[in-house]
Structure 1
């Protein structure tokens, strides 16, 4: 029996999986523009968050980062260009694409694209189909260049290697810290992957806040994978960053355990050989090396040194860090 157009549409919705497009943050006070952009894809394919003010959007960036920003240059509290600079100034999220929405009168102005860190722009008013294609182009271009961890959205291994190697080649003096969660596997086995992912998300936010204490342009945070993270700061900020990570992690992590396990000081879970054993509350270990005086020659040297120091940090049985103090200030 043939389906009517309405029934056919319902049938397709029920049986087909729409391809996911992305999660967008739209910053505009223009209701008409908002309606046009939100209508580019069905609600099953795209998630939108709209902000009327630029500073409000920055407040949610840490907790709910998007896959792409669309910033109207006419927002009331701050220019779109300045907001784009703020987004790109957040080292952790600078790789998220930014599309600037410019009125035609402003699009004729002079822009220094060496200084203005945007990934594309749309001239308003704009036809919906052109907007859809340009947004998709910016989104896909960003995905190709951004090896973000799918859970935390932090830069992944390729970005970590490039950032460390670039610092070495430029003769930059920096500290690099390798961060690892102790007893994370036993927690995962005991509570399941969903609870484990919550711990990793908490850890990523905690690290972002700790690294923020150092100058943004000289700092970096990446997620190698699993429970392994890497941060870069100027040498003089490294220990303060480590102290912040350790104290914050120790204060927060007990809340992720059930009350019974929290009171017992740990959990009972299977080891890698399948044997039951007791594990304490998770701790965090950090190893820090540095590139003072150009002592690092390549990424592998930095990775090996910091990883070895991290192993030393694990030996005391509680959260802590070990810093390579050779020629350290």
Structure 2
């Protein structure tokens, strides 16, 4: 189970980095508490909102619902290794922007295959390193140089993650740079995949009438339901990106693409009517002025999905990301000509 140490990140102000410490080591927990809560005058640097978990399973139960900005993980946990936890988290492309640090002792460094794990940094700590006692465990104080280094590494990991992150500020999904890099990587490795572009119809009319706040709620909902669907697809780690505005992309295995699109469409159509007022919902449309100032009726929002496949083994390869994007834009025109939510495959590839 997780615990929040007394006076340790309670009621953190908006914008303060959210950090999770994952350890069963009371000494490490006491160390981090002292460094960031101000016990003994030890706190310095920018404030951080810390939460402590004593096992990996508890982290996984909550991580995918509300991910933190950083994970500080002990190499050894009661139910799994710290490396395994980091790999499970980072294996989901949707959450690769979360900074991760691995804490281990000096002998443990040589036993880690650093080229094959997704930790962003590591920190070597003595076996027992913390301020005076934690429960019944006598903990040696952390030497000042190591305390300074730990604070600096955590701060640097957060700064580095923010600098590299091109994610949408609203949905936190990877943005254009990450999307292009990921898709081009699949093409270069000659991997079979389906690339789906999702676009919301009549979103502008909704946003104009109901305001940006409710519009943002729709964008967040769309991001969550696409990400949830992608994570449940078999065959490869999830990738979902937010191109911008009401445009999204997601990647699935070719043979899972149609089922994934069907589920996204079904979930969207089931939930979105609830965002409208009763009168508009019963009418099935918004009555508003269009861009030319004419009064017209706008149907309830729908999602249009265009799907392009890469299948090198079948002789149907995409040359580069630009081709994938162009093909998808052409197919999306067909999808948006239809009424209601739908998905359309690029049949030129079949």
Shared fold, TM over 0.5: yes
Give the direction of change, closer, same or farther, for the CA distance of 1:45–1:271 in structure 2 (3 Å limit). farther
Give the direction of change, closer, same or farther, for the CA distance of 1:217–1:91 in structure 2 (3 Å limit). farther
Structure 2: give runs of 5+ residues left out of the alignment.
1-12, 130-141
1:36 maps onto 2:58 in alignment: no
Answer whether contact 1:28 1:34 (CA < 8 A) is retained.
no
Structure 1: distance between partners of 2:338 and 2:75: 53
Structure 2: distance between partners of 1:163 and 1:229: 14
- Aligned residue in 2 for 1:6: none
1:203 maps onto 2:222 in alignment: yes
1:142-201 CA-partner distances (Å, limit 9, x unpaired) = 223221111111110001111111222222221111000111111111111111111111
Give the direction of change, closer, same or farther, for the CA distance of 1:261–1:62 in structure 2 (3 Å limit). farther
Q: By how many angstroms is 1:20 displaced?
A: 5.0
Q: By how many angstroms is 1:231 displaced?
A: 1.0
Total equivalences in the alignment: 310
1:177 maps onto 2:196 in alignment: yes
Q: By how many angstroms is 1:53 displaced?
A: 2.8
Answer whether contact 2:91 2:237 (CA < 8 A) is retained.
no
Structure 2: distance between partners of 1:190 and 1:43: 44
Q: TM-score, normalised by structure 1?
A: 0.85
Give the direction of change, closer, same or farther, for the CA distance of 1:180–1:57 in structure 2 (3 Å limit). same
State how 1:1-329 maps to structure 2 within 5 Å. 20=15, 22-29=17-24, 30=26, 31-39=29-37, 45-102=47-104, 104=105, 107-124=108-125, 125=129, 127-215=146-234, 217=236, 219-292=238-311, 293-328=315-350
Structural RMSD (CA): 2.5
Give the direction of change, closer, same or farther, for the CA distance of 1:146–1:294 in structure 2 (3 Å limit). farther
Q: By how many angstroms is 1:96 displaced?
A: 2.0
Q: By how many angstroms is 1:308 displaced?
A: 1.5
Q: By how many angstroms is 1:65 displaced?
A: 2.1
Structure 1: distance between partners of 2:295 and 2:107: 67
Answer whether contact 2:72 2:103 (CA < 8 A) is retained.
yes
What secondary structure sits across from 1:304 in the alignment? helix
What secondary structure sits across from 2:241 in the alignment? strand
Give the direction of change, closer, same or farther, for the CA distance of 1:323–1:27 in structure 2 (3 Å limit). same
Answer whether contact 1:184 1:282 (CA < 8 A) is retained.
yes
Answer whether contact 1:63 1:205 (CA < 8 A) is retained.
no
1:220-253 CA-partner distances (Å, limit 9, x unpaired) = 2111011100111121111111011101111111
Answer whether contact 1:68 1:97 (CA < 8 A) is retained.
yes
Answer whether contact 1:287 1:310 (CA < 8 A) is retained.
yes
Answer whether contact 1:270 1:277 (CA < 8 A) is retained.
yes
Give the direction of change, closer, same or farther, for the CA distance of 1:253–1:197 in structure 2 (3 Å limit). same
What secondary structure sits across from 2:307 in the alignment? strand
Q: By how many angstroms is 1:34 displaced?
A: 4.5
Q: By how many angstroms is 1:50 displaced?
A: 3.1
- Aligned residue in 2 for 1:4: none
Q: TM-score, normalised by structure 2?
A: 0.81
Structure 1: distance between partners of 2:210 and 2:65: 23
Q: By how many angstroms is 1:202 displaced?
A: 1.1
Q: By how many angstroms is 1:323 displaced?
A: 0.5
